[in-house]
Structure 1
Amino acid sequence: MKIAIPTKENMVDNHFGHCEYYTVLTVGQANQILSSETIPSPQGCGCKSNIAGELENMGVSVMLAGNMGQGALNILTSHHIKVIRGCSGNVMDVATDYLNGKITDSGINCSSHEHHHECHGDNSKERC
């Protein structure tokens, strides 16, 4: 399995479409992280770029994200990528928590009236 995480300075970026890069983790059968690589974020908004297809071609099946709009969620889902929203914190800590079953999707999207290149979700001390 491969997990993608929108990243900024080794932290989950709060907005999928404007991250610095994506961290892609390869996970083994025993839920251990085998390797990590980064891919640059494409120009433009995430939902309007080719990132979903690129991640799918890399074998990514899960995205651990901060916030994103419904358009991005729809595109990622159409590329067979399960999206877990509401994540925050260090990339490796979030991935480990996900693999240990401690993270669930927040169910919260950024709405168009909130979309000013920043989303202000209700992130508590929990990573998701």
Structure 2
Amino acid sequence: MGIAALIQLLESTQSHIQSQALNSLGKIDPGNSTAISTLVQLMESTKSEQTHLRIVRYLGEVAISDPKAIAALEQLLSSTEDEDICLEVAYQLGKINPGNSTAIATLVQLLESTEDEFKFENITEREFDGLI
């Protein structure tokens, strides 16, 4: 399947098709700027938490130092109140842009505000590793 067809499948409303397209693109052409731009647009237009998480994870794998992806992830951090999405976005943002002050500030805020012991351990073991 060609890259253009995979990019077109990213806009599918069916999550399993979208996931397959993401996986295939990641193997065939990681860092494809057209795919990253399409995903950023999709992330900005969707209200689905699952779609946000899928796109955020993909961007964390393939959008290293990509300014559009970094800006979109920072925007998502500032516009969502969902702790799980904030946690994942901060982690992936730290992967594609180590030392990102927005990611670090979000993680510090989550550490200070969480009362969930499991989430606290998850933040300290996973999210700070490599960010600072």
Fold similarity call, TM over 0.5: no
Greater RCO (Cα-Cα under 8 Å, separation 6 or more): 1
Task: Please state which structure has a larger fraction of its residues in helix.
Answer: 2
**Max radius of gyration: which structure?**
2
User: TM-score under structure 2 normalisation?
Assistant: 0.29
User: TM-score under structure 1 normalisation?
Assistant: 0.30
